[in-house]
Amino acid sequence: MFDTIYIELPIQSIKDLDDKSDTIDSETGEVRYSVGFTDCIKIRKVGEVMTVECSLPKLLKRNNIYSLSFSEVGLALKMIEDKLGISIQQGIVRRIDCHYTFETELKVREYFRYLGDCKYFRRSNIDSDSLYYSNESRVFNFYDKIKEIKSKRDSIPYEFIGKNIMRCEFRYKTKYLKIMSSKLGIEKLKIENLTDRNTYNQIAELVYADYQSITKIRQSYFDEVTISSKAKFQEQFVFAGVMAYGGLNAVLDKIDASKALNKNLSPEYFSRRKSEIKNIMKINKQNIEGECINEINYKIEQIHLQRLDE
């Protein structure tokens, strides 16, 4: 659930910082702030305070396209402590980015038209591959994760090559984290809270509520069902069923998994069933937009429920 995190701590000595640089005040000649790195952890020192910035998935799994489970969040935070040689448990969270990342049937930008306004937020399309909702305390960003990785010239993990991957990112700034802390029943959100199971689940619920607060633009597929022929009528209900199940890939995977339970059937039987489903989805592709919002609603709900149970 968590990606990039910003932690505030009292100034401490950090071991083995790389690329350390100081910014000097031109008038006084004093150091205004210092910046250094160790691995993908950025350390910034200003006055008597230091901030630690790190993408937890990138630190633990070397690429932030991945999502971390509850236990993996704890491992990543422990890695920060090991690399810095200090405890961060009492560090105050000044910003935290949470996300849902999943594969979509269509190109990511095709879904943006079905995500409408959100009360108290300004909706804006920065470019064709990003959709933003923003105010002074929070930012919701929907974008094509694969295109972002390519733009940074990073490597795409093998299992994501050739796929459409949507990133739904919820960035919570200091101002909103004060509100979040109040909802969580704590004075300030600290690192030690992120490894508390109850607090983790409460934050997951708040993130899910933020997604639900976005107005969804629905176009009912069944409003356009035709009965020009028996075959066409059946095709359209098969199409709707595939989308409700989670999309074409989910159904094809289910067909493959069923081979073990139907060993009396030939491999050709399963190939034909898959070809039939693919053909129906191709024929009805012009109607797929009517189910776009159902697709991402379903996938985000499944991720949310998994987080509460992991």
Q: What is the pLDDT of residues 135-179, one digit of tens each?
A: 999 999 999 999 999 999 999 999 999 999 999 999 999 999 999
Of 119-123, 186-190, 228-232, 275-279, highest mean pLDDT: 186-190
Opening angle at CA 178, ends 177 and 182, nearest 5: 110
pTM of the predicted model as reported, rounded to 2 decimal places: 0.77
Instruction: Report the phi/psi class of residue 243: left, alpha or beta, with left for phi > 0 and alpha for psi in -120 to 50.
Output: alpha
Q: pLDDT at position 29, please?
A: 67
Contact 64, 58 (CB under 8 A): yes
Opening angle at CA 49, ends 84 and 15, nearest 5: 20
Torsion from C-alpha of 11, 17, 18, 21, nearest 10 degrees: 30
Q: What six digits make up the tokens of 304?
A: 């949310």
pLDDT at 25 over 80: no
Q: What share of the chain is helix, strand, coil (3-state, %, to 5)?
A: 45, 25, 25
Residue 155 DSSP symbol: P
Domain ranges of the chain: 2-212, 221-309
Q: pLDDT at position 223, please?
A: 45
Contact 136, 175 (CB under 8 A): yes
* Sheet strands side by side (includes 49-55): 18-24, 31-38, 41-46, 49-55, 2-10, 92-104, 164-172, 138-144, 130-134, 122-127
If you average pLDDT over every residue of the chain, what do you get? Answer: 88
Q: pLDDT at position 222, please?
A: 46
Residue range 88-98: average pLDDT? 98
pLDDT at 288 over 60: no
Q: Is 1 exposed, middle or buried (0-12, 13-18, 19+ CB in 10 A)?
A: buried
Residue whose structure tokens are 């409003």 = 223
Q: pLDDT at position 221, please?
A: 46
Q: pLDDT at position 225, please?
A: 52
Residue 100 bridge partners (DSSP): 168
Residue 175 amino acid letter: K
Contact 278, 272 (CB under 8 A): no
Q: pLDDT at position 285, please?
A: 54
Q: pLDDT at position 117, please?
A: 84
Residue whose structure tokens are 């306004």 = 117
